[in-house]
């Protein structure tokens, strides 16, 4: 089974790492090319490009200036420990048993505006670059144009013909994949909560649930659609009536 998730804007480069294991990202040369474009942007230009505050623009301008290869364990951090948003709260990678690290390294991929496609243990340096940012790179008018072919080919090279491919990424990031060119169907779980008597997709809960489903897949060594439907962390339950085709709906 292969799973894709989004990165997070919130980062953690301070917490003590539970493992010394790390790997190199596949597209560092591409990341360097993208970063070279970012390095030329002033804080004011970054603020306008990313629609962020002056304070965040200053922080990310400095990150861009500091970004450099080669990555080492002194200047970079494995991706699944560096990202710190709602999805990663659900994943809770810091408590993942050592025996499961190889499994998550094999199964999980993280989409990124700067790094393209990351394995959990791939080293990254701090950055902010959402996939939807209208940043021209070379002859490509935006990051979707820049990354789509490379990301899709990389996924196809890793996917077995009968392997399940689970989309737990946001629409913004999943749009960086050419779904029609994938050699396997896409399974997309959705998570909804009852609030005020109505079933709603609540952003924080849905994002956290995506991370929890990754953790469930790794914890239980899930390999089948039936196994995926068994997801029950924090009160969620598969709803066959609301589910259609390859969209699996979980409610609580």
Is residue 88 included in any domain, yes or no?
yes
Task: Specify the pTM.
Answer: 0.98
Number of domains in the chain: 1
Is residue 192 included in any domain, yes or no?
yes
Is residue 17 included in any domain, yes or no?
no
pLDDT tens across 171-208, in order?
999 999 999 999 999 999 999 999 998 999 999 999 99
Q: Give the Cα separation of 135 and 108 in Å (integer).
A: 27
Q: DSSP secondary structure string, 20-63?
A: ---B--TTHHHHHHHHHHHHT--HHHHHHHHT--HHHHHHHHHH
Is residue 204 included in any domain, yes or no?
yes
pLDDT tens across 105-157, in order?
999 999 999 999 999 999 999 999 999 999 999 999 999 999 999 999 999 99
Is residue 163 included in any domain, yes or no?
yes
H/E stretch holding 81 reads: helix 79-82
Is residue 80 included in any domain, yes or no?
yes
Is residue 27 included in any domain, yes or no?
yes
Per-residue buried b or exposed e for 183-217, using 16+ beta carbons within 10 Å of the residue's own CB: eeeebbbbbbbeeeeeeeeeeebbbbbbbbbbbbb
Q: Which domain holds residue 168?
A: 2-12+22-251
- What is residue 89's three-state secondary structure? helix
């Amino acid at each position: 089974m292969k799973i894709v998730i989004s990165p997070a804007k919130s980062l953690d480069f301070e917490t003590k790492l539970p493992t010394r294991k790390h790997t190199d990202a596949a597209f560092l040369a591409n990341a360097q090319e993208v970063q070279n474009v970012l390095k030329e942007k002033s804080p004011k230009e970054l603020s306008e490009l990313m629609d962020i505050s002056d304070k965040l623009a200053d922080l990310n301008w400095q990150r861009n200036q500091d970004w450099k290869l080669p990555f080492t364990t002194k200047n970079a951090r494995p991706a699944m420990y560096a990202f710190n948003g709602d999805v990663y709260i659900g994943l809770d990678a810091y408590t993942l048993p050592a025996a499961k690290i190889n499994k998550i390294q094999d199964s999980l991929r993280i989409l990124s505006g700067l790094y393209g496609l990351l394995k959990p243990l791939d080293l990254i340096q701090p950055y902010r670059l959402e996939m939807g940012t209208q940043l021209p790179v070379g002859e490509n008018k935006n990051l979707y144009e820049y990354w789509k072919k490379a990301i899709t080919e990389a996924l196809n090279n890793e996917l077995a013909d009968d392997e399940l491919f689970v989309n737990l990424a946001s629409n913004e990031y999943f749009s960086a994949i050419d779904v029609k060119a994938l050699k396997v169907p896409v399974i997309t779980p959705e998570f909804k909560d009852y609030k005020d008597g109505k079933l709603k997709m609540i952003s924080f809960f849905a994002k956290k649930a995506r991370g929890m489903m990754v953790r469930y897949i790794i914890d239980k060594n899930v390999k089948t659609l039936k196994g995926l439907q068994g997801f029950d962390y924090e009160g969620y339950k598969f709803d066959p009536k609301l589910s259609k085709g390859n969209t699996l709906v979980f409610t609580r």
